[in-house]
A and B are shown apart, each in its own frame.
Chain A
Amino acid sequence: MTTQEMQAHIVDGVRRAMSDLCSTMLGCEAEPGEVRVVAQPLEESEGVVALIGMAGPWIGTGAILCKPDMACKLAGAMLMSEYAEVDDEVLDAVAEVANMVIGNLKTSLEEMVAPWVYPRQQSFTAPASPPNSAETTGGR
């Protein structure tokens, strides 16, 4: 499978995964925007980031990024509560979103290639500065 073919499968898989997540867990609809290839991964990472590492026939990461208020909305919808600021529960909720979206993507990709290892996830806030002050919930 070429990189271009993999990109097409990733786009399709992510769209499906987000749609499934929103309809089943968040009670809303996801409107997909323009797909872009970026030179610097996570360049728009100011806010909350959840990362999952993947290894197998293909290797890399999947990430969910959003602003803090969006992270609070996601957590509120998932946990049926209200959050005014990012705390451990909000980070856990965003990490779970990443787990479901990237996990769903991984499952669909495995139908085309061999099974993958799916080792760890991390979620953390990523303030613009200072760069070393990011808080992490640690791997699970």
Chain B
Amino acid sequence: MPFAIMGGTVLVQVCLLPNVDGRTTPRLDIVGALAR
């Protein structure tokens, strides 16, 4: 969702899925790869 502020744009993205397997440790390795 984009927001116009201070003459520019800030984009907020949220990605959430039901935690069906009960995992409580985030997969930060995959998070990093997504930045590519």
Chain A residues near B13 (CB-CB < 8 A): 38, 41-42, 61-63, 65
- What 0/1 readout, one digit per residue, does chain B (1-31) give for beta carbons within 8 Å of chain A? 1111111111111111111000111111001
Chain B interface size band reads 20 to 34
Known: A35-B1, A56-B24. A67 touches B8 (CB 8 A): yes
Kindly provide the distance from the CB of B35 to the nearest chain A CB, expressed in whole angstroms: 5
Kindly provide the distance from the CB of B21 to the nearest chain A CB, expressed in whole angstroms: 9
Kindly provide the distance from the CB of B13 to the nearest chain A CB, expressed in whole angstroms: 5
Query: How many inter-chain residue pairs (CB < 8 Å) link A and B?
Result: 138
Q: Majority SS of interface residues in chain A?
A: mixed
Known: A33-B4, A56-B24. A14 touches B35 (CB 8 A): no
Interface residue ranges, A against B (CB under 8 Å): 3, 6, 10-11, 14-15, 18, 22, 26, 28-36, 38, 41-42, 44-45, 49, 51, 53-67, 69-70, 73-74, 77, 97, 101-102, 105, 117, 119-120, 122, 124, 126, 131-132, 134, 136, 139
Interface residue ranges, B against A (CB under 8 Å): 1-19, 23-28, 31-32, 34-36
